[in-house]
């Protein structure tokens, strides 16, 4: 097996394409990491922004007190947080990819 590995040599084109692939992979990881961080920040803000009125209305409004149990309140808050995470993460990854494609092109 090692004798086969010695006989296989990479042409300059293959080396350049591998380097380019590594560079693209690193850029994709950076883009996705930016998206995760931005999405997590948005989810925290959205959780707080939706938890306060949800909990306040469940205590003050008669309809909400009668119809929104703890599970429903948690579902409202977690749905808003999840939606904020995915929307912001997606927009951030797309914006980062667009920015990087303009740099390369």
**pTM of the shown model:** 0.75
Do the beta carbons of residue 3 and residue 46 sit within 8 Å? no
List pLDDT tens digits, range 7-43: 556 666 666 677 688 888 888 899 999 999 999 999 9
- For the chain, the helix, strand and coil percentages under 3-state DSSP, each to the nearest 5: 90, 0, 10
**Which residues make Cβ contacts (< 8 Å) with residue 96, sequence separation at least 6?**
30, 31, 34, 35
Task: Tally the C-alpha atoms within 13 A of residue 102's C-alpha that lie toward its C-beta.
Answer: 5
> What digits encode the pLDDT tens for the residues 60-79?
999 999 999 999 999 999 99
């Amino acid at each position: 097996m090692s004798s086969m590995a010695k006989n296989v040599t990479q042409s300059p084109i293959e080396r350049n394409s591998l380097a380019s692939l590594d560079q693209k992979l690193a850029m994709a990881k950076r883009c996705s990491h930016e998206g995760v961080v931005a999405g997590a920040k948005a989810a925290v803000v959205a959780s707080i922004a939706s938890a306060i009125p949800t909990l306040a209305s469940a205590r003050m409004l008669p309809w909400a007190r009668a119809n929104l149990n703890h599970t429903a309140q948690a579902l409202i808050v977690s749905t808003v947080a999840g939606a904020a995470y995915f929307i912001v993460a997606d927009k951030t990854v797309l914006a980062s990819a667009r920015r990087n494609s303009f740099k390369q092109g």
